[in-house]
Structure 1
Amino acid sequence: MPKVNFRLDGTLYAALTRRARGANLSLSGFIRQLLEQAVDERKRYVFSSQDEILATSIQILSIVATSVGQQSPKALEQGMAQARAILAERGLLGGEDAL
């Protein structure tokens, strides 16, 4: 198997490392999948095997959040703050108020 070496700036390296950790992949495995996506003629999303699980999880969490919010707005607020912190730690928020 051919080997490729290249340099990254610190910010990009940190972001890729967080995203790889969030996807439960090694950095090399994550970058390999990104490169596969870049050359895929059908332009499909490489991580599509997890899309169904993600969609189902979002639906379930939305139902739970609605229920918790109706019963205890303060508990919902605390849960959302925790979710923001976890997502930020993994580099999965687009901005400060993405959630």
Structure 2
Amino acid sequence: MTKVNFRVDPALHDALQRRAYGANLSLSAFIRQALEQAVDNRKRYVFSSQDEILATSIQILSILATSVGRRSPETLEQGMAQARTILAERGLLGEEEAQ
């Protein structure tokens, strides 16, 4: 494998680190996949199989949240707060959403 070195500004590095962590990948693996996407002739999205799983999970959790919210709004609010904390820790929320 060929080694490539390049410089990025600190803000971009931090964003890449958060995205890599959120995808459960090392920074190098994440960047390799992003670069593969950039040169893919078919213009497909590298993380498409994960997106399908994510879309299904979101639909299921939306139905569950609606049901829980009707029965116990307090429980729903607690769960949403915990979810925001976890998402923020993984770098999956913007700064304004994490607060």
Q: What TM-score results when the alignment is normalised by the length of structure 2?
A: 0.87
Aligned to 1:9: 9
Aligned to 2:70: 70
Residue-by-residue CA offset, 1:54-80 (whole Å, 9 max, x unaligned): 111111101110111001111111211
Distance across 2 between alignment mates of 1:84 and 1:6:
33
Distance across 1 between alignment mates of 2:29 and 2:19:
11
Runs of 4+ in 1 over 3 A off after TM superposition: none
Offset, 1:42: 1.9
**Pairing of 1:82-93 with structure 2 (within 5 A):** 82-93=82-93
Residue-by-residue CA offset, 1:37-96 (whole Å, 9 max, x unaligned): 111122211001212211111111011101110011111112112212222222222462
Aligned to 1:45: 45
Distance across 2 between alignment mates of 1:96 and 1:87:
13
What percent of counterpart residues are identical? Answer: 81
- AA aligned to 2:26 is S
Aligned to 2:36: 36
Distance across 2 between alignment mates of 1:71 and 1:95:
31
Moved more, 34-43 or 87-96: 87-96
